[in-house]
Amino acid sequence: MVNKRIPFKKFSVSISQQVIAMEKAFPNFQTDWKRNTVIWTGTLKPTPLSRCYTVQIFYSLTMDQPKIIVLSPPLRKRGDANIPHTYPGNKLCLFRPKKKEWTKAMLISETIIPWTSLWLYYYEMWQATGEWFGGGEHPRLRRKKSK
């Protein structure tokens, strides 16, 4: 008998399920749409002593991962040091994609939003001390070779 592998379809939480979960967990976040991408905008305050941050999360099923940006107050460098754990355009780096720390089977309301708040806490600590206490590893961006 030939051993046939049966491929399993990867499970993804639907966009409508993501929207419902966000509305339930974070009713203060506004939901907008741009084509097939949902955009959530809302405020987070990592600790009672923290500033309020307005953040925006972009997500569609065609994206590998959500894109998270801080709208206000603008993120700022500490002296000459670049902001740790960000991608170009100041998109937040919250997890290691290659290690599948976040997948489309997870709810954004239970992962990305809490991780964003935690990232903001570590950002405030970095601003105060110059040390990033959030751990993790940020992938180095590859530069195009010049010919």
* Three-point CA angle 74, 37, 57, nearest 5°: 30
First CA to last CA distance, the chain: 54
Neighbours of 129 (CB within 10 A): 10
Confidence band, pLDDT 50/70/90 cuts, at residue 8: low
Domain residue spans in the chain?
Answer: 15-129
What is the rounded CA–CA span in Å between residue 133 and residue 143?
27
DSSP notation for 49-76 = TSPPEEEEEEE-TTSSS-EEEEEESPP-
The pLDDT value recorded for residue 135 is 81
What is the rounded CA–CA span in Å between residue 23 and residue 37?
16
The pLDDT value recorded for residue 127 is 94
Residues whose CB is less than 8 angstroms from the CB of residue 95 and which lie 6 or more positions away in sequence, other chains included: 65, 101, 102, 115, 136
- Report the CATH fold assignment for 15-129: Ubiquitin Conjugating Enzyme (3.10.110)
Task: For residue 9, give the 3-state DSSP assignment.
Answer: coil
Q: Please state, rounded to an integer, the average pLDDT across all residues of the chain.
A: 88
Is 70 exceeded by the pLDDT of residue 140? no
Per-residue pLDDT reduced to its tens digit, 94-107: 998 888 889 899 99
Is 70 exceeded by the pLDDT of residue 138? no
Per-residue pLDDT reduced to its tens digit, 41-85: 999 999 999 999 999 999 998 998 999 999 999 999 998 888 889
